[in-house]
Structure 1
Amino acid sequence: MPKITGMKVKLYVMDASTGKVLAGQKNATLNRQADSIDATSKDTEGFWKENLLGFKEYSIDADGAYVVNDAAYGVLETAFVNSENVDVYLEFPSGLKYTGNCVITDFSLEAPYDDLVSYKLTLKGSGALTVETGA
């Protein structure tokens, strides 16, 4: 089975017309969680707990080198300052794509005296995360 490296997975930020790759991106993590609801009752067999799936949520953490005049970074900057949501997607070379609408909960800039200016970004999902397989 073919394997891919993380360097081929890119985070895109949507502007009014199209997705723009976030320049300078080094890392991206798609976090997905689901709540569980305890459905155990007195008549549960074998003394094993029973659980049902509850609400799901997702977030994306990313970081990278700050690139001057990057269009995607500009969309994020504007959305953060104006308290607006952003549409984003993570795309794999196989065509696998995770798309969602997010709030920006962390948008940090680091400016060390002996290294590149870098950013850290946390996007928390608002609504469903959609998955396209590219097939």
Structure 2
Amino acid sequence: MAVRGADILILVNNVVVGGQQSATISESVETVETTNKLTNGFKEFEYGFGEWKISADGIYVTGDAGFTALKNAMRSKTKVTVRIREEGVDVEEGTALVTSRDLEGKYDDSATYSVELQGTGALTAVGA
């Protein structure tokens, strides 16, 4: 069954970041080259270290507790607990640093925000 994008929410310290319109959850892993003289002229690789990050944006809502938590965490350089919720169910969580926050106020449109979260440690299944 397909999941609607509108049904994926980002929570910070157990509070939904209000006004969210989109979120991109990215995971990647480095590779470590293990080529040697016995690999028959082909390079070989193993998995290295992994990382994850989240980019999100939305409509700025005055006094939103989730957005305020992100702003305060970045300014005080404290880590936040991030949860990913799909269709009302918390599915993954991890610890992250808030690495950027933008607030844009165009004269002819709604004020919008964007944030970048850099995961530290693993992103794991909730309840695992």
Whole-Å Cα distance in 2 between the matches of residues 94 and 66 of structure 1?
A: 22
Q: Which residue of the other structure, out of 45, 65, 76, is the alignment partner of 2:70?
A: 76
Q: TM-score, normalised by structure 2?
A: 0.93
What residue in structure 1 maps to residue 17 of structure 2? Answer: 22
Indicate how the Cα distance of structure 1 residues 133 and 7 shifts in structure 2: closer, same or farther if over 3 A, else same: farther
What amino acid maps onto 2:106 in structure 1? P
Residue identity (%) = 32
Unaligned runs of 5+ in 1: none
Q: Compare the two structures and name the one with the higher strand fraction.
A: 2
What amino acid maps onto 1:50 in structure 2? E
Whole-Å Cα distance in 1 between the matches of residues 90 and 97 of structure 2?
A: 23
SS in 2 for 1:129: strand
Whole-Å Cα distance in 2 between the matches of residues 127 and 40 of structure 1?
A: 28
What residue in structure 1 maps to residue 33 of structure 2? Answer: 38
> Do 1:103 and 1:124's aligned partners in 2 also have CA atoms closer than 8 Å?
yes
What amino acid maps onto 2:120 in structure 1? S
What residue in structure 1 maps to residue 45 of structure 2? Answer: 51
Whole-Å Cα distance in 1 between the matches of residues 114 and 72 of structure 2?
A: 16
Root-mean-square deviation (Å)? 1.7
SS in 1 for 2:121: coil
Indicate whether 1:89 and 2:77 are aligned: no
Indicate how the Cα distance of structure 1 residues 129 and 110 shifts in structure 2: closer, same or farther if over 3 A, else same: same
What amino acid maps onto 1:118 in structure 2? T
Unaligned runs of 5+ in 2: none
Aligned residues: 128
Q: Which runs of 4+ in 1 moved over 4 A?
A: none
> Do 2:7 and 2:88's aligned partners in 1 also have CA atoms closer than 8 Å?
no
